[in-house]
Amino acid sequence: MNNNRNKSDKYLFYEALDRRLSKVHPFWTTVQKMLRKEGGGYAGELRVDRELSEGKFFDSYIVMKNLLVGNESSYCQIDSLVIYSKFILIIEVKNIPGLLSYDEETHQLTRRKENDPLESMGDPENQLRRSERFVKTLLKRHSMSIPVHGIIVFSNPSSILEKPFPNSVAIHVSGLYRALEKLHQSYADQHSPQFDHRKAHQLFVLNEPVLTPNKPSHIPTTVFSDLTMGVLCPDCVMTKLNYKNKYWRCSICQYKSEKSHLTTLQEYSILFSEELTTSEWMKFTGMNSETTTKRMLRASNSERIGGNKNRKWLIHKTHPI
């Protein structure tokens, strides 16, 4: 069973942006809003993970988190795909506070919060149905006959579903254990065939598309030119570290570390580009020695690519940063 849930690329992007954007910048409040939204969604997914791990149905199952199914041009992202020995369960997690109501005719979910106007939300049922289609298509293409179920789980404590979805099971996270119990009981009453859940897991792993992370399109390009460059001190806000005698050092709090640049490399790949030249890294970090810079990049999670004239470093993604 996979016990780790990584933050989404979007969440990591806003975290990196927040670390390097001044609090007096006009775009800072927008970044904080997006951080709260992404952070709430991540916290909700972690709560669902805890409910799954605390249940008694742990003998033979695998949880795949933030799974991509499809190909590079057409795909869906599944919050949690749980592979049991008799069926597969797709969990669509929604962290939406307020009074929620679904209109079957317009396929629209609306949310009302106290003293706020009525808001239109995305359609979780449509998302779930689409995920089910992608999963069933992949299984069929590889001749695997496995029942597929889906469930919408509202993870926010203040979510109230006033009008339910007509064709989907939608519950609060507090009821997830009971919903799983009922689903497993339905298969216990049948002589349903079992399958190798590890083989199914391998199928999803081998067929998961690899996507290049995209920066959110609503970020003005001018914001990136206003970001603080350099390797930043984790304790002193917006303070650049200096590299001396194999250590990154803070002149304010005396913090020092050999590996602070590894976090900065990940931030650079998220905010700017997965590729960079030696001179670009020297300019960004303020390093003076080309030899030391190359040695540093060679020892990090970076790969030399291109010819001698156009040689760059490819930053490989790691979690967490």
**C-alpha pair distances (Å), 18 with each of 21, 222, 294:** 5, 15, 28
How far out from the chain centre does Cα 239 lie? 28
Burial zone of 85 (CB within 10 Å; 0-12 exposed, 13-18 middle, 19+ buried): middle
Please give the Cα distance from 2 to 61 (Å, whole number).
10
Q: The whole model's pTM is what?
A: 0.84
Paired residues of 64 in beta bridges: 81
* Predicted confidence pLDDT, tens digits, the chain (321 residues): 445 788 888 999 999 999 999 999 999 999 999 999 999 999 999 999 988 887 665 567 899 999 999 998 899 999 999 999 889 999 999 999 889 888 888 888 888 887 778 888 888 999 999 999 999 999 999 999 999 999 999 999 888 888 778 888 999 999 998 899 888 888 886 677 788 889 999 999 999 998 876 778 788 889 999 999 999 999 998 899 999 999 999 999 999 999 999 999 999 999 999 999 999 999 999 999 999 999 999 999 789 998 777 789 999 887 554
pLDDT the model gives residue 194: 82
What 3-state DSSP class applies to 42? helix
263, amino acid identity: T
Phi, psi of 155 (to 5 degrees): -95, -15
Looking from the CA of 55 toward its CB, the CA atoms found within 13 Å total: 25
Residue 261 burial by Cβ neighbours in a 10 Å radius (0-12, 13-18, 19+): buried
| pLDDT of amino acid 190 | 64
- Looking at residue 120, its pLDDT comes to 87
Looking at residue 2, its pLDDT comes to 43
Quick one: 313 exposed, middle or buried, by C-beta within 10 A (0-12, 13-18, 19+)? buried
Predicted local distance difference test score (pLDDT) of residue 321? 45
| CA atoms within 13 A of residue 223's CA, in its CB half-sphere | 25
The two three-digit tokens of residue 100, written as one number: 């929620």
DSSP state of 215: -
For residue 31, the number of C-alpha atoms closer than 13 Å in the C-beta half-sphere is 22
**Cβ atoms of residues 93 and 38 within 8 Å:** no
| Gap between the Cα atoms of 239 and 230, Å rounded | 9
* Dihedral sign, Cα of residue 300, residue 306, residue 307, residue 312: negative
Q: Residue 273 is which amino acid?
A: S
